[in-house]
Amino acid sequence: MKKKIGRVLVVSLLAIATMTMVACGKKKETNEHKIDKNAIYKEVDLGIQFPEGVEINSAHVKDGRLYANGYSFEEGYAQKLITCNLDGSDMRTFGFSDPNAYIEIMTPLKDGKIVIFYTSYEEIVTEDTYDYNTYYYATIVDENGKFGEKVDLTDKIEYVSNVQVLDDKILVFSDDKIYTLDHSLNFVSEKEFENINFGRMFALRGDKMLISSWGEEKEEYRTLDLKTLELSDVLTLAVNMNLYDISAGSQYDLILRDNVSVYGFNLKDTEPKVLVNFVDSDISVSYFSSFDAIDDRTFVGAYYDYDSDDGRGAYKLAKYEKVNPEDVVEKQILTLGCLYLDNNVRKQVIHFNKTNENYRIRVIDYSSYNTEDDWDAGSKKFNSDVASGKGPDIVIASDSTTIHNYISKGLYYDMNSLLDNDPEIKREDLFPNVIKMGSYDGKLYEIIPSFYIETVVGKKSILGDRQGWTMKEMMEFEKTIPEKSSLIMGVTRNEFVNNMLAVNSSVYVDMASGKCSFDSDDFRGLLEYAKTLPEGDDDYYNQLEEEGFWESYEEMWLSNRAILMPTTIYSLSDYNQILKGYIGEDITFIGYPSEDRKGSSAYYYFSLGISSKCPSPESAWEFVRTYLLAEYQNGLQYNGVPISMSAFDEIAKKAMNRNAGGGDEDILYEDTDTFYINGEYITIKPLTADEIKKYKDFILTVDKSQGSLSDVDLIIDEETQGYFQGDKSLDDVVKNIQGRVQLFISEKR
């Protein structure tokens, strides 16, 4: 369970996604509404079966042969080398004689040989102490698995960041030095670079490398001539290299990869050229441990497949081959724009593309507009498109203000009729309070597939029948607690203010109406109370150590050392640990102080909305609705509360029927049948029907949603420091906050 004793405000990572259709005929068709048929590829599983019990760390292809390294669970994590042809034939597995070895870098040489740089350690055990020495070695392994003499690099090189193999030498990069070795691993020379500390390094065509180092303000790039070891001047590149995974090219200087596509890029290009679009190709891979260009039409990639048939996941190698453009099936296009393509969205998009006969979704990643000078350029571009009426038909946003900023301008569609007319999804099955969170003036602008709860809990035996409180009521309650108890343990001034802003964001700021209310008595009380709290964490930690609670942290609430527990509840498992672990008896969801005594709120990972400018909202709904269907909702056991109450009930049945105790300890902890306290796991009973009903009844009372108010948060943080330090009066600070935030909201609208 993730508990929050400190800062609760979650500054959401903006994940805006959009969908525009060819069917929306009133919009001018752009390139984004077309599939690039030359970027469609198919994935061909190489079908390589690695030895049982061996987990692969990395793999590389050289001269049509695969070279991989990993370790064996069955042999105590012993390091392994594996080499085979790309069809899996002629597989050879080599082990280390040194049981303490760990491979740092493995690079294929010519003639099937491999050069390996690895660490090893030697234990130093005496009667009273335990220590160890770490060594750094290099060795060469031939095609038959015979290990050459190991070369001790310990006194010369602390670690190796990159290795480049040339015909006549091997270059080893470490910090600000390049060491030259011959092919027998004898030292030839070393060269130190003044004011250069090597960062990322990428092989280029023509015996050159692209080298990064940190400059005065940002990362700088130079080319390195591998023959002369001379660096060029700082390069001006047309793309932000930090946005990509990078590997060597065959027809291009570099192969760039982001979350959507593969690009070819030459250093003198003004922009990269799209070679492969994974989403358009219905390929679900989002991360490769290695990716090699065989030629300008074929790539080989290695990745860990978490969705393998056995449910355990497996390391997978695949070839990516170009599909003839004339073989690409045409459909009407739905574009999906995003600042970051989350894997959840990626899978949903690909599933939609494979199953929908009439439409397919085209992904546009707005983060491609970001630069090192402006990491918000993509967000600005998206907002500019929406504000100018050129925005997408569907938005997926993890920040509620993304949609609420434009509700007053009539830019989003009321989805009530779409929901009510859906043949499979019933409104009465959805949490009504969550539907309300996505609504404004009775109009449904956002669909929230899942959410999690931010609240404060405590023992019912102490809090009584309270269901919520104001700041004044909480301050009065604090006077009644035992002298050695703390109301909220370990929360500093700024953390408390941020927590309150997070859970009461919709109380203080209404983006839809464009008004804020920081001049209220409740907000004044918030600042007055915050001033009584510690300025920093030192006193809290020292106090814990003195009283022995640092070793028994989980006992704080059981023993009434702390009365209130600020927490985030992601699942029934979290709830069970709070109820039967941390608190140990019946709890009250008291929440944070709030004028309306409703101090609990719902965070959500993302929401979906449809633009009012889309002439065919029914078509857009075909994608939105997939997040409300049972197939998606029933898979949310550990990823928040599903909006579907029937899905919640199914998950609850599993929680009640779970067998407490027995089995694998890690699985038990994940399932929260156990609770870790005082250095050991204790078994806790599964939830009962009454306990789940209480939690569900509580969920139904939560009708506030969290928005990202990071800019407002900064304004308040700046202004409150003067009050906390005694330099400004409360009246002046409240007046300044109200004025500045109101101006910010007006400009935002």
Task: Determine the angle formed by the axes of helices 730-748 and 710-724, rounding to 10 degrees.
Answer: 170
Average pLDDT, the chain: 83
What is the Cα–Cα distance from 607 to 589, expressed in whole angstroms?
25
Phi, psi at 176, each rounded to 5°: -110, 20
Q: Which residue has the tokens 């998206």?
A: 382
**pLDDT at position 17, please?**
32
Tokens, residue 646: 């029937």
Q: Which residue has the tokens 């959401």?
A: 12
* pLDDT-derived band at 15, boundaries 50, 70, 90: very low
Sorted by sequence, the CB contacts under 8 Å of residue 542 that are 6+ apart come out as none
What is the Cα–Cα distance from 303 to 280, expressed in whole angstroms?
19
What is the Cα–Cα distance from 95 to 91, expressed in whole angstroms?
14
Q: Which whole number is the average pLDDT over 722-735?
A: 92
Q: Who has greater pLDDT, 239 or 539?
A: 239
pLDDT at 567 over 60: yes
What is the Cα–Cα distance from 184 to 115, expressed in whole angstroms?
10
**pLDDT at position 422, please?**
97
**pLDDT at position 8, please?**
30
DSSP 3-state assignment of 182? coil
Look at residues 714, 490, 437 and name the one whose alpha carbon lies nearest to residue 601: 437
What is the Cα–Cα distance from 320 to 279, expressed in whole angstroms?
13
pLDDT at 28 over 80: no
| 8 Å CB contact between 269 and 238 | yes
DSSP string, 83-120: EEETTS-S-EEEE-S-TT-EEEEEEE-GGG-EEEEEEE
**pLDDT at position 697, please?**
96
pLDDT at 300 over 80: yes
**Could you report the per-residue pLDDT of 113-167, keeping only the tens digit for each?**
899 999 998 887 777 777 888 899 999 999 888 999 999 988 888 778 888 888 8
| 8 Å CB contact between 672 and 660 | no
Pairing of strands 486-488, 562-569: parallel
Q: Which whole number is the average pLDDT over 639-650?
A: 94
**pLDDT at position 707, please?**
59
| b (16+ CB within 10 A) / e for 322-336 | beeeeebeebebbbb
**Could you report the per-residue pLDDT of 315-341, keeping only the tens digit for each?**
788 999 999 999 999 888 877 767 777
Least confidently predicted of 305-314, 387-396, 416-425, 649-658: 305-314
**pLDDT at position 534, please?**
77
What is the Cα–Cα distance from 625 to 421, expressed in whole angstroms?
12
**pLDDT at position 667, please?**
37
Look at residues 400, 366, 372 and name the one whose alpha carbon lies nearest to residue 385: 366
Q: Which residue has the tokens 């949603």?
A: 705
pLDDT at 455 over 80: yes
What is the Cα–Cα distance from 226 to 376, expressed in whole angstroms?
37
pLDDT at 219 over 80: yes
Give the CA count within 13 Å in the CB-facing half-sphere of 279.
Answer: 29
What is the Cα–Cα distance from 21 to 524, expressed in whole angstroms?
49
| 8 Å CB contact between 411 and 613 | yes
Q: What are the Cα distances from residue 483, in Å, to 245, 461, 487, 560? A: 56, 18, 10, 11
**pLDDT at position 14, please?**
29
Share of the chain above pLDDT 90, in %: 32
**pLDDT at position 23, please?**
34
Look at residues 503, 502, 511, 507 and name the one whose alpha carbon lies nearest to residue 404: 511
pLDDT at 173 over 80: yes
pLDDT at 660 over 50: no
pLDDT at 575 over 90: yes
**pLDDT at position 701, please?**
94
**pLDDT at position 479, please?**
92
pLDDT at 546 over 70: no
**pLDDT at position 3, please?**
37
What is the Cα–Cα distance from 551 to 544, expressed in whole angstroms?
9
What is the Cα–Cα distance from 486 to 359, expressed in whole angstroms?
58
**pLDDT at position 430, please?**
98
**Taking the alpha carbons of 651, 657, 661, 667 in that order, is the dihedral positive or negative?**
negative
User: Residue 684 carries which DSSP code?
Assistant: -
Highest mean pLDDT among 83-92, 534-543, 611-620: 83-92
* pLDDT-derived band at 232, boundaries 50, 70, 90: very high
pLDDT at 638 over 80: no
Q: Which whole number is the average pLDDT over 646-673?
A: 64
Tokens, residue 420: 């009510």
* pLDDT-derived band at 746, boundaries 50, 70, 90: confident
**pLDDT at position 30, please?**
54
Phi, psi at 721, each rounded to 5°: -60, -40
Highest mean pLDDT among 395-399, 535-539, 652-656: 652-656
* pLDDT-derived band at 13, boundaries 50, 70, 90: very low
What is the Cα–Cα distance from 239 to 254, expressed in whole angstroms?
12
Q: Who has greater pLDDT, 748 or 36?
A: 36
**Could you report the per-residue pLDDT of 394-451, keeping only the tens digit for each?**
888 776 667 777 777 788 899 999 999 999 999 999 999 999 989 988 999 999 999 9
Least confidently predicted of 449-458, 496-505, 655-664: 655-664
Least confidently predicted of 54-63, 217-226, 692-701: 54-63
What is the Cα–Cα distance from 64 to 710, expressed in whole angstroms?
51
Least confidently predicted of 246-255, 303-312, 398-407, 502-511: 303-312
DSSP E strands, 150-248: 151-152, 162-165, 170-174, 177-181, 187-192, 201-204, 208-214, 219-225, 230-231, 245-248
User: Residue 277 carries which DSSP code?
Assistant: E
* pLDDT-derived band at 192, boundaries 50, 70, 90: very high
DSSP E strands, 193-327: 201-204, 208-214, 219-225, 230-231, 245-248, 254-257, 261-265, 273-277, 290-293, 298-305, 314-322
| 8 Å CB contact between 379 and 352 | no
**pLDDT at position 748, please?**
67
Q: Which whole number is the average pLDDT over 241-263?
A: 88
pLDDT at 671 over 60: no
Sorted by sequence, the CB contacts under 8 Å of residue 108 that are 6+ apart come out as 60, 62, 63, 65, 67, 114, 165
Phi, psi at 646, each rounded to 5°: -70, -35
User: Residue 417 carries which DSSP code?
Assistant: H
What is the Cα–Cα distance from 371 to 516, expressed in whole angstroms?
33
